[in-house]
Amino acid sequence: MIDLRLLRRDIDAIAERLAVRGFALDVARFREIEERRRRFQTETERLQHERNIASRRIGKAKAAGEDIAPLVAAVGELGSALDAVKVRAEAAQAELADFALAVPNVPDGDVPAGEDESANAELGRWGEPSAFNFDPLDHVALGGAQIDTAAAARMSGARFSVLRGPVASLHRALTQFMLDMHTGEHGYEEVYVPYIVGRDAMTGTGQLPKFEDDLFAVGQDGMYLIPTAEVPVTNLVRESILGEDELPLKFVAHTPCFRSEAGSYGKDTHGLIRQHQFEKVELVQIVAPEQSEQALEELTAHAEAVLKRLELPYRTMLLCGGDLGFSAARTVDLEVWLPGQNRYREISSCSNFRDFQARRMMARYREGERGTVEYVHTINGSGLAVGRTLIAVLENGQDGEGVVHVPDALRDYLGGTTRLDLRGRTDGQAA
């Protein structure tokens, strides 16, 4: 949630910065709500003061043997007026909170303006796009019957898949490889988290109220399937005050992710690119504010290390305002090269949310033993999206005859297999 003090201090400057992401802040509405809130607060304080004075008069009059009935009646009237004003003050405060919940995070100063991904800024590249002496297949044609969307459609509808045989094994191997790398080499604590969460958890990380149409609701109890492990993992610090010595916290979790993709029908419907159910290995860091810029660089490097180890060419992109997620102040996307599409595609978004999510979750830390209590900063990113990594390994490793080269880093996870024969066989011989 945006810090209301920023809006009160210089709302025009905040509105100008939010325009970078294409968001039109309703300055007039904020000022009207804020003016009401202040007026009711001032009236509340005035009535409280008058009631306190009147109450003291009752004590003095009683001690002097005077009739206190008129004074008691006056205090009662002041109390009734105070209760009425408090109701209006609380309503104005609630309206202000609802207003703030709908305002996205303020982009960092170096986030470029732009409406969509075409304005994103390339920061760098690693590796060269694969060169083939044949026309490379995309993952659907390459996987054949082992990527079975027809069977999935019969039981679940569009945008689901069944993985079979070596493709399913590769998917499992990628997941375990990523978890082992992030826990063993990068210092993350692995966590297993619920796949169903309540409305408060979704609101805490910014999925609600704005993106309700993109979520899968469960029953009538305000519960939702998680769209990303970011939600339950970040909410581990919900409504808590951490010690400064507990930071940074670094978590990694493997979960399925469920998204209705309400606004994306007609886009990326081919194969595994955009599914209602997919899996990710998610990285989350909870840090002190002065650590957050470094933490984003570190987390991004950890996601990049997976791509490098898997020998997958990629590029890094700084997202423009129009492509920035609702809760993010800054996002660096990693885009992997997919020969079957002859283009780079997003495989990880690494974001610094500053204190935006922490304010919504009331996630704080104390500076020193008796220091002030401040909001933590939250950072997260995919390390990586498993399905898209599967696509990249298949398409970049193909040999033109239905066989896929297995990167060295994955061979131990596949029983020493060096090649996957997607025509129905695996070859475990040494490369």
Catalytic residues: 259, 274, 346, 349, 388
In whole angstroms, what is the distance from residue 376 CA to residue 359 CA?
9
Q: Which of 329, 334, 292, 289 is nearest to 313 (CA)?
A: 334
Residue 265: exposure state from Cβ atoms within 10 A (0-12, 13-18, ≥19):
exposed
Those residues with Cβ within 8 angstroms of residue 91's Cβ, 6 or more apart along the chain or in another chain:
none
Residue 148: exposure state from Cβ atoms within 10 A (0-12, 13-18, ≥19):
middle
Dig out the tokens for 212 from the structure.
């309700």
H or E element at residue 315: strand 314-318
First to last CA, the chain: 53
Q: Which of 305, 214, 287, 223 is nearest to 250 (CA)?
A: 287
In whole angstroms, what is the distance from residue 121 CA to residue 226 CA?
30
Order of strands, edge to edge, in the sheet holding 240-243?
240-243, 363-366, 373-375
Dig out the tokens for 13 from the structure.
């400057």
In whole angstroms, what is the distance from residue 403 CA to residue 422 CA?
6
Q: C-alpha 43: how far from its chain's center?
A: 40
In whole angstroms, what is the distance from residue 39 CA to residue 295 CA?
42
Contact 405, 397 (CB under 8 A): yes
Dihedral of CA atoms 399, 404, 406, 412 in degrees, nearest 10, equals -140
In whole angstroms, what is the distance from residue 387 CA to residue 380 CA?
18
Query: Which amino acid does the sequence have at 311?
Result: E
Which DSSP category does 107 fall into?
Answer: P
In whole angstroms, what is the distance from residue 9 CA to residue 30 CA?
12
In whole angstroms, what is the distance from residue 165 CA to residue 61 CA?
91
Query: Which amino acid does the sequence have at 352?
Result: N
